[in-house]
Amino acid sequence: MNVVVTYGETTVEFKGSPEAVLESVLRFLAKEVPHLDLAKKISLNYPASELIDMYSDFVKITPEGPRVITEGKKLSDRDLITLQLVACKIANELGKAESPDISAQELQTATALNPKSVSSRISELVKVGYVQKDNTEQGAKYKITTQGIHWLNSTLLKKVKS
């Protein structure tokens, strides 16, 4: 891989493996553009690779679609719903699903939860901003928000530690 970066009057060329070039470019940018380092400290974003690292014990992409596999782990309905939405987001970012959002009926089918429980929990999650509701021609669709991923991560960490 070969990357040329020009910033102001400085031009630098990086050659090597993709990993080495990426590391060198990031180091250069952090040194030459100090505001980037500050912005990184307050930025919150979860790319698919990070989501996979965080949730690979719970989320699997199956031939039937993205699924939550708990394997004996005791999770709340809210946990299962948000994990299913994370699974949909990952599948979408990997090109395995057309969209990161899902209907309440699809959530109920994927999680095997009671329809009333799905409806109640999804309403709670939308109200606190962990899930985004979009009204489409096909009806309401739901997707996880960045804040929802952050909440889910901290919730699951607490459960793993206890």
pLDDT of the chain, 162 residues: tens digit per residue: 998 888 778 888 999 888 888 888 878 877 777 666 566 666 777 888 889 999 998 999 999 889 998 877 788 999 999 999 999 999 999 999 999 999 999 999 999 999 999 999 999 999 999 999 999 898 999 999 999 999 999 998 877 665
pLDDT of the residue at 147: 95
pLDDT of the residue at 6: 84
**CATH 1.10.10.10 matches 48-161:** yes
The reported pTM is: 0.74
- Detail the DSSP E strand segments found in the chain: 2-7, 10-15, 59-62, 65-68, 131-136, 139-144
Q: What is the dihedral of CA 29, 89, 62, 55, to 10 degrees?
A: 60
Q: Which of 48, 62, 147, 140 minimizes the C-alpha distance to 101?
A: 140
